[in-house]
Amino acid sequence: MIKFIAYIALFIHHLAFSEGLSGSNVSTAVLDNGLKIIIKTDRRAPVFISQLWYKVGASDESQPITGISHMLEHMMFKGSRDYKSGEFSRIIARNGGDENAFTSKDYTAYYQKMHQSKLELSIKMEADRMRHLSFSDAELTKERQVVIEERRLRVEDNPNAKVYENLRLISFDSKGAYHAPIIGFQADIENYHLSDLRHWYETYYAPNNATLVVVGDVDPERVIEYATRYFGGYKANPNIDNNKNRPSIALNKQSRILKLKAKLPFYAISFHVPSLATTDSENKAYQLEMLAYILDNGLSKALMRDQQIVSGISVGYRLYDKFDTLFTISFIPAQGINSQNILQMIKIQVRELIEKPHLIEAELRRTKVQLEADFIFEQDQISTQSYYLGMLSSVGLKINKLLNYVARMNQVSTQDVANVAKQYLNPDMLNYVELIPQGIK
Amino acid sequence: MKFLIILLLLTTQTQAKLNIMHWTTPEGAKVLFAQTKGLPMLDIALNFDAASSRDGVKFGLATLTNSLLGTTSKYHSQEQIIELFESVGAQFSTHSLKDMAIVSLRTLTRQDNLQVALNTFTEVVTQPVFKNKYLNREKKQTLHSIRAIKQSPASIASLAFDKAVFAGHPYEHTRIGTKASLANISTLDLTQHYQTYYVAKNLTIALVGDISKTKAKQIARQISHGLNSGKKAPSNPLVKMLKKSQNIHIEFPSKQTHLLIGQTGINRAHPDYYSLYLGNHILGGSGLTSILSDDIREQKGLAYSVVSYFTKMKSNGLFLVKLQTKNEQANQAQEVAIKTLENFLNYPISNQHLQDGKNNIIGGFALKIASNANILTYLSIIGFYDLPSDYLSRFTDKIRNVSAKDIQIAFSRLINMDKFIILSVGQAQ
């Protein structure tokens, strides 16, 4: 079964190490063909998670092949050179493993969680499907139906998911990233050809477009040895970066009313903001992240607990998106409350935060303590640890960003929070989607 | 490998085998504790037998009582409580199911943080004040949840299935109650519910984290000391087996039909527990590699998700096969699912299936106890459901000894295909 062993001698001396994190238990390496490797040891239990992250996702797609990264993710379980369709999952399962995959805007990732004795098996099998996937029309026909069912389940029959889908449609131009849904438009899902999938695979599934992240009770030398043995023989694809100049394009002052068969209204607002990867000053990104926490707490207290004009409210910011992203506020109006009145209250809260930043002093202090504790709590799951490492690597950020997170957040002042609120939460520019329920039956 | 320079400066300690300690507090609370090293954190779950099966006729009472913990205590208001937890980075949460009403805390073990978090937690649980203001707000939120359920075909299906399978039993009604039942619940009801059920003898305390046994004893004692000793809640009646099959369809304007097929299940003391556990794992409990997933998703592309499971409750839970498919092919999917179940009941599974299923559970067992959060759940279950304290250490041996014949016999004894509930929510064709 070990078909790549001959390559080790050729490639081992090109191993290069970079950006290790001093003071942490993280090691990194890059193979000669560009495959990045990140290893974090965690010996609390005799298990590991191995994730292979590809830098490709919905943000690389446009019509008529939206959702193709996700479709390909499904096809990755449908057989490769060494394994028949479904056999990958069966072998992992009978070796005690838990496995799955996920696709997002900026990445597609595959993982196995297993007992530490199964490390080589996991890496060997993942390597096989990086370059040797079988493409069968019969499998595509069936799996396409599975994906359409997934879309019906997640989006079509879920009114709030439709609101978020529409918010991205109106907030980003279709010529750039983040416009189309990750799962794709139904018409596109219905029409991919096998050749589209093969092309996508051959373009993006290359070692220099991937990061292997392993967290758990492993010996970093072994991880690198196995990665070298099984991935080392693959050639880099020198043309990948040419395909990646498709940043998001902001649209402002857009709105859409959705009249759906639903019981509850829902309202979502977006503002355009930079991410940590795109900002001209990293401080700004952390300040926006802090603003999201402070507003989420502040609005929950004022609108949900005190005034009781919303049944739920949530503020979101995607610090680790690859391109310029959205700062969102979404809420469910309480029964009988006009959404415009709620919007007015949100604007008042934001204005107060901008004009009187000293009022959030205590809140800011508590949030910092909470973030510091959350950082420890997150170490409890090896999957959370590997998720952050893989995501950072996939959007082109150094992984020391993870360790610096708490320190950077601790530097944010009340005035900083007010400043980014003033700069980015401009009420004249916001986009919104409103769901007006039409009742059921 | 001489070119490797590993930047390995700090490695957390290797965890020894999980050692579960247990004792009873002077007031009568059962305590289970596992010390885990490597992270300076502690998880506490208080599991009271005080959930919706204790509602009586006031549906929603248990959930309301549970969710009002943390809104006011003898010495603090809600905003003060929130700020106290936040100021030390602690996470406080409440959760109420059908059997278990849970109050939990996650905190750092640094002494300053731990003490504030623990004192606040103890006060919130042992000296709550139920105020009208918060009861009314919580009722409004519950009415909102009731409307949210009505726009979710999955929730409609799940509640309707409970109603059918648990008819006449305290598990039948929804744990959040109904519009009518909520109207009749007062703060006095909450106080009475609290005084009856939030008592030491009705409590399992689970603790997991980087503290010593001495410290764990101290913490459990502090919490338990503030509670009345009280009485253990009497057992609920067992759920009765279904007398006949039922076909239920609920019309709903969704693109997919949600299909639920099943009947009465088991509790954790059931004599066939391990055969049924392993059998279900192979049938529909193991993701893409299960028999149901192979027949319905992999072979035919009929659904994104198809699963089967037992909810293992105190008074017997339910057994369920669940899938979603576009309305037009709901009948086809139902036929395939029924056929798969028939085969499973009529013929022993193949040796390959049996061995694969065992290997998955046994080989993957270390994953189940790899995080504090997972261990906490197991300790809660072991204590609350009176499982032997060596439940975890013997689990893989029990699974190893199950044969294909055992599975077939256990399923045939329990599952009667002539008395199925077949429930669909979607647009009938």
Helix (H, G, I), strand (E, B) or coil at B326: strand
Report residue B304 as tokens.
């994104």
* pLDDT at res. B301: 95
What are the 10-residue block averages of pLDDT along chain A, 441 residues in total? 27 36 77 97 96 97 96 97 94 96 97 98 98 96 96 96 98 97 97 97 97 97 98 94 82 98 97 97 98 97 96 97 98 96 97 97 96 96 96 95 95 98 97 95 68
Q: Is the peptide bond before A64 cis (omega within 30 degrees of 0)?
A: yes
Of B14, B39, B302, the CB nearest to A379: B39
In 3D, which of A215, A181, A172 has the Cα closest to residue A51?
A215
- How many CB atoms sit inside 10 A of residue B292's CB? 24
Indicate yes or no: CB of A97 within 8 angstroms of CB of B299.
no
Report residue A305 as tokens.
């607990």
Provide the shortest C-alpha distance from residue A265 to chain B (in Å): 10
What are the 10-residue block averages of pLDDT along chain B, 429 residues in total? 30 59 98 96 98 98 98 97 97 98 98 97 98 97 96 98 98 98 98 98 98 98 98 96 96 98 96 98 95 96 96 95 98 98 96 97 96 98 95 96 97 95 96
Chain A residues touching B286 at Cβ < 8 A: 93
Report residue B13 as tokens.
């300690």
- How many CB atoms sit inside 10 A of residue A199's CB? 13
Indicate yes or no: CB of B356 within 8 angstroms of CB of A220.
no
Reported ipTM exceeds the 0.95 cut: no
Asked whether A311 and A339 are in contact (CB, 8 A), the reply is: no
Of A44, A95, A157, the CB nearest to B359: A95
Helix (H, G, I), strand (E, B) or coil at B58: coil
Question: Which residue does chain A place closest to B83, by CA atoms?
Answer: A366
Using alpha carbons only, give the angle B304, B307, B310 rounded to the nearest 5 degrees: 160
Indicate yes or no: CB of A374 within 8 angstroms of CB of B324.
no
What are the pLDDT digits (tens) for A308-356? 999 999 999 999 999 999 999 999 999 999 999 999 999 999 999 999 9
Of A142, A225, A377, the CB nearest to B301: A142
CA A420, CA A292: separation in Å to the nearest integer? 11
**Mutation site for A-interface testing, chosen from B36, B156, B289, B325 by largest number of A Cβ within 10 Å:** B289
C-alpha count within 13 angstroms, C-beta hemisphere, residue B149: 18
Using alpha carbons only, give the angle B119, B124, B130 rounded to the nearest 5 degrees: 160
Please give the backbone phi and psi of residue A362, each rounded to the nearest 5 degrees, phi first.
-65, -40
DSSP string computed for B268-297:
TT-TTHHHHHHHHIIIIISGGGSHHHIIII
The alpha carbon torsion through A238, A240, A246, A247 (nearest 10 deg) reads -90
Helix count and strand count (H, E) for chain A: 15, 11
Q: Are strands B101-108 and B256-264 parallel, antiparallel or unpaired?
A: unpaired
The alpha carbon torsion through A270, A271, A275, A278 (nearest 10 deg) reads 130
CA B175, CA B192: separation in Å to the nearest integer? 18
Please compute Rg for chain A using Cα positions: 23
In Å, how far are A246, A272, B200 from A431, measured between CA atoms?
22, 9, 53
Helix axes B61-68, B187-197, angle to 10 degrees: 90
Provide the shortest C-alpha distance from residue B109 to chain A (in Å): 10
* pLDDT at res. B320: 97
Chain A residues touching B72 at Cβ < 8 A: none
Question: Which residue does chain A place closest to B375, by CA atoms?
Answer: A380
Chain A residues touching B86 at Cβ < 8 A: 366-367, 369-370
Chain A residues touching B144 at Cβ < 8 A: 264, 311-312, 332, 334-335
Residue B102's beta-bridge partner residues?
B47, B95
